[in-house]
Each structure stands twice: as C-alpha cells, then as structure tokens.
Chain A
Amino acid sequence: MEIFEQLHQQNFITQKQLDKIKQQQPVSVHWDIRTLLYLGILLITTALSIIVYKNIDTIGHTAILIAIGIACAACFMYCFKKTNRYQHAKVESPNILFDYILLSGCLLLLTFIGYLQYEYNVFGNRWGLAVFIPMVILFFCAYYFDHIGVLSIAITNFAAWLGITVTPLQILKQNNFGDTHLISTGIILGAALIIFSIITQQKNIKAHFAFTYKNFGVNILFIALLSAMFNYDNIYLVWFLIIMAVAYLLFNNAVKQNAFYFFVITVLYAYIALCYVVIELLTSVGGDMGVIYLGLIYFIGSGIGLIRLLMYYNKKLKDDAGI
C-alpha cells in the first residue's frame, strides 16, 4: 500500500481513491469453489465408470446401457429446459452448473454410443456412422448451447471420423504419419478448419469459436505438412516451399490481427522446416568436421537471428493485453 500513499502525496490519486484502495474488499473464492466443484464431478464420473467396468458381469450390459442412457438424457433435458435462447452472438450460460452438466451429458453420449457399437454392433461394419452421429449431435450442442469445450470434442470427433487422432497429447503418438492417406487428409482437414474459422468470423456466427477452429486447423495443417516433408524426402524441397508459403500467409494474417499466439507457432513450425532442410542439405554435402561446424554455427546464428526477429515483431504487433 505504500506505493499508493506515495502516489497520493504526488497528487496522482485523491484521498477518496486512496481510501477506496485501502478499504478491504471481500475475498472472492469464485474460482476456488468452481475448481472444487469440477474436481468433484470428475471424481464421481470416473468412479462410476470404474464401478461399471468392474461389475460388468453382475450388472449386465443392458442395465448399464439403460443407466447411462437415462443419465445422458437427464443431462440434456436439464440443458434444454434451462438454456437461454439461441443467438449468433455469444450467449452466457444461465448458471454455473449448466456448463458442467452439458459437458457430462456430451461425454456420457459418447460413452453410450461407443458402448452400443462395441457390445451390440448396432452400426454393423459402418464404423464411420458410430462416430458420425455423435459428431453431428456434438456440433449441434456446441452451437445451440454455446460451449467451446463441447466444440473441441466435436472437432476431435470430426477428425476421428476422417481417421485422425487430434487430441493434443496423442496427436504425434497415435498417428502413423508415414501413411499417405493420413497426410493428405490432415492437410485438407487443417486447411478446411482454418477457412471455416475465417467464415465463422466474417459471417459473425459464434465468432468466438473462430479461435478454436483456427487453433486446431493451424496445428493439424503444419504437422501434416511437416510429416509430408519428412516422408517424401526425394521431393522435400517442394514441401518446404509449400510450408513456407502457408507460413507466409499465416504470418501476415497473425501480424495483421495482432495474434501473438498464431504468430509464434507459425514462426516455430517454419523454423522446424528450415532446420530440417538445412540439415538435409548439409548431410548431402558429406559428414566431415567442417560440415558439423557449419551446422552448429547455423543453429546458433539462426537461434539468435530468430530472437531478434521475434523482438522486432513484438514491438510491431501491439501488445494490447498488458505491458
């Protein structure tokens, strides 16, 4: 508080303002309680699934399916009853529990349909349908109830429908990016998501969803392009040029929109591509000490160069959020 007294003495703030600053305000435990609530819900849902898993022989599949179905339906009924009217703009959720109940409902829905397919083979060999139906419902929920978390699950399902795993932790582990089909799908999906994020913003339909679309899109696109470059090493320079072209477009876009996050990831992905090309070129020259030194100097120089570039653009992109 000393600082404010000094500011008061220097006539920056009035006595009234000083008093208001000094006056003790009630401590807000809003996020603390919400975190506990979320933890509780997480514990119960996990516990329930373990109980079901352990007792599957005694309870019987039909009973479990019915129970999950009822719980899921209850969640959705609550949401439909409580929800505010749909608008293209952002809609605030009616109360605190709403978001959690909607999320639980959507997760239960996925379990329900997965279970149905696994145990009773309802969709037969049309596996795609078992992913497609929940995907449509999820997208509908995300838009109708305005929930970004559900939207992320929906996009993940969309990718799964196309055959790609895109959950952040598994994106590199689970996918065999040596697969030509997967690479082309990834490129198309990534590009489509980016384009869709632009449309979302231009048409102003849930414009705050644009970031989520673009985030998935940019990451999927770059990872697919990079694996294409690693994979087809006879024409890697062509892929390098494509990556640079994409990076250039996204770079300009990020600078224009003051989007620090996209700016940084674009620069870093492009840097990975550049490093790969430099290493490829150096190894094709030969493996003596001189080349290794050249490589080391390249990494040091490029690292420092990129630092300078980032600092330059940090100034150029106006830091709106805070000094």
Chain B
Amino acid sequence: MMQAYKYKNLYSKLVQQKASEAFETESIDAETYKKILEAHASELYTPNFFIRIALGLLTVIAVLFSGVLVWFISGASNDYAFVALFIFLSIACYTILELLINAKQYYNAGLDNVLMSCSIIFLIAAFLTEDYANNDLITSAVMILFCLWLCIRFTDGFMAMLAYVSLYIFIFLLCVKFGVAGKAIAPFILMIASAIVYMVANGLLKKERLLFYHFSCKAVQLLALILFYASANYFAVNEAGTQFFSAHINMPAVLAMIYWILTFLIPVAYILYGLMKKDLLFIRTGIVLFIISIITIHYYYQLLPVEIDMLIGGLILIVISYLLIKYLRTPKHGFTFKNINPNKKDLLNAEALIIAQVFGKSNNKQKGFEFGGGSSGGGGATGNY
C-alpha cells in the first residue's frame, strides 16, 4: 500500500463519514448508526477544528525557528549553501511528517498539513535560489511529481490541487517559450489540458480501488472547472498576453471575439449542465464565474455607471431569488428550496451524543483519564465553540 495510513483506519474513517451523512438525512436510525460506529473505530487523529488551526500555527512557529537555528549553526552564507540548507529543511520536514504519522496517524490535524506545505515551500526555495536556464520549468515539473506523491501518500486533496496547479503552470511556461505562436494557442492548450484533467479525475472517481481519493478527485474537478474558465477569460488572456509574452501585438479582432464568447458561454454552460445533472458543483461554480464575467466586461466597457449596474444587478438577483423561492416551495425537477432537514440541530446533538458514547468512553479507558464525575454533563447540549 502506498498510503502512509493503515487501510483499516482510512476505510473506517470513510464509513464513519458516510454513516454520519446517512444519519443526518435520517436514512438510518440512531441504533444502526451506533452499531456501525462501534464496528468501525478509526485510529486516525483529527482534533477539533480550532485546535487544528492552533496546531498549524504553532507548527509554523516551530518550523520557522528551527530553520533559522539550522541556518545559524550551519553558517550558510552563499547561494550553494542556501540550496543545500533548503533541501535539508525540506527533507527534514518530510521525514518528521512520515515519522509522526507513522507513530500517531495524524490526519488533517493541522500540523501534518503545515509540515507538508513547508516541505514543498523549502523545495521550491531551493530551486529558485539560483538562476539556472529553464529553472521555472524544472521547478514546476518537480512540483507536479512531488505534490502528486504527497497526495498519494497522505490522501490529501489540497496536494492534488497543487499538483494540478503545477501542471497548469508547467504547460503555461512551455507556451511562453514559444513566443508569439505560443501566445495565440496558449489559452486553448490550457483549456484542453484542464478538460483532460477533469475527465481523468472523473474516471478515477469511479475506480473502487481509489475510494480514499474520492475527495482529492472532487477537489481537482472543481479546480479544473475554474481553470478551464480562467484559461479563456478575456481579462486573464489579455493580461497574461501583455505580461508574459514580449510581443505587444494587439489581439486580432476575431480572436478577441472568441474569448469574449467563451467568457460568457462557459459559465452558462456550467449552469445548464449542472441543472440537467442536478450537480450543485457545476451550478455554484457557474454562478460565481458568471458574476466574474460580468465584472470582466465592466472592466473594459462601461456602458452605464457602476452604481446603476449594481442597482440593476441587485434588482435582478432579488427578483430571481424571490421567484425561485416561490417556485421551489414544493420540490420541482429534483430541486427544492426546503432546508433538507429542519431539525438538523437536534440530529447533530444526537449524533454528538452517540459519538461521545461510542468513542468517548473507550478513549478514556485507554488513556486512563479521570473526569471527576462531570463526564456526561457536557454531552452535547453546550455550544462547541
């Protein structure tokens, strides 16, 4: 197995998640849920949300000052020494990450995420310290492989997205190398690449062997939708054209027209496809991108003053949402305005109680913590801020 985590733990975690969803939509009852949880205890360590943020922050502090300490001790002063230093730090972060996960099975615990990112940042720093020929191309190529490895090893969605971004940058830089010719075709190549990435992720989603990478694939798909659009957005194409391609040739009118059409066509297509497939990912992305398209056109052509546009836009939004609320009061075409389960809060409290029952006790026994009587007092009724 290539994962750093034990198969059983990952599987149990996934079962817990799915069971939790089923419980929240009231597909399974409390007794069933409890039974499933009891049979699928996972050793993966994921603390409370706020604790995770604090752990991440503190890890940043520890890594940062450790780096400075190593720098002082090594006395690195020239570029080569810095390259060596950064590579050492990158490897150190990665090694600590492996050791910690092996010992404690940290999983999205804040500190594993930070260590992963630090390992990447140090590696990039090592590459960019010196100015070699094609340095940026090589860096992005290495990043594709390294992030992909981190994604596979730690089943991490963010790393999957980084790997894809690296690939995107790599292809873009390749296009830049081709100068004027590259400028004309770069958007289309990037669009094709994003479409392929989307399809590949879609294919991987269906593979049962890759069950644990479901989230990674979804994350990449979302990013692919966004970058597919960004590749053809008129503003992005225009700005990138003047920034990265030395040739200051004005865009041919036909090409400009194509980009403008794509800028609006893509979000609309997303929304329509999402409505057809009942896929909220497409609908939400489509709406956000459509708004960006409107801002884009406003940037170039100001037919009306901003405030009038805002007024009209706001009115349209209110009318549309009001009509939709009325229309979807009873479910139609597979959509509903109903907040799926209005008694979600009670369900969440019940869920918290069950989880505390199943896992709270066994954990306490293992570690021998004494709670001085009050252990059931906080059983879910208090706010968990």
Could you tell me which A residues sit within 8 Å of B by CB distance? 2-4, 7, 10, 12-13, 17, 20-21, 24-34, 36-37, 39-44, 46-48, 50-51, 54, 96, 211, 215, 256-264, 267-268, 289, 292-293, 296-297, 299-300, 303-304, 306-307, 310-311, 313-323
Shortest distance from the beta carbon of B13 to any chain A beta carbon, whole Å: 8
Which single residue of chain B is at the shortest CB-CB distance from A304?
B62
Which single residue of chain A is at the shortest CB-CB distance from B380?
A320
Among all A-B residue pairs, the 6 with the closest Cβ atoms: A40-B317, A43-B314, A303-B62, A44-B314, A261-B385, A47-B310
Please name all residues of chain B whose beta carbon is closer than 8 Å to the beta carbon of A300 when the two chains form the complex: 62, 65-66, 69
Could you tell me which B residues sit within 8 Å of A by CB distance? 14-16, 18-20, 22, 25, 27-28, 32, 35-36, 39, 42, 46-51, 53-55, 57-59, 61-62, 64-66, 68-69, 72, 111, 208, 211, 278, 280, 283-284, 287, 306-308, 310-311, 313-318, 320-322, 324-325, 328, 331, 334-340, 348, 351-353, 355-356, 359-360, 363, 367, 369, 374-375, 378-380, 382-385
Known contacts A3-B18, A257-B378; A296/B72 CB under 8 A: yes
Extra pairs beyond A27-B335, A293-B69, A323-B16 (14, CB < 8 Å): A3-B14, A10-B39, A25-B25, A26-B331, A27-B278, A28-B338, A29-B337, A48-B307, A258-B378, A260-B50, A262-B385, A311-B47, A320-B353, A322-B351
Label chain B's interface by main secondary structure.
Answer: helix
Q: Is the CB of B69 within 8 A of A33?
A: no
- Residue of B28, B66, B315, B369 contacting most chain A CB atoms (<10 Å): B28
Q: Is the CB of A317 within 8 A of B48?
A: yes
Please name all residues of chain A whose beta carbon is closer than 8 Å to the beta carbon of B317 when the two chains form the complex: 36-37, 39-40, 43
A126 to B47, CA, bound (A): 51
A41 to B280, CA, bound (A): 23
Shortest distance from the beta carbon of A186 to any chain B beta carbon, whole Å: 22
A318 to B47, CA, bound (A): 10
Shortest distance from the beta carbon of A247 to any chain B beta carbon, whole Å: 14
Q: Is the CB of B383 within 8 A of A259?
A: yes
A125 to B322, CA, bound (A): 45
Known contacts A47-B307, A264-B50; A21/B22 CB under 8 A: yes
Known contacts A41-B318, A43-B317; A32/B310 CB under 8 A: no
Q: Is the CB of B383 within 8 A of A211?
A: yes
Q: Is the CB of B336 within 8 A of A13?
A: no
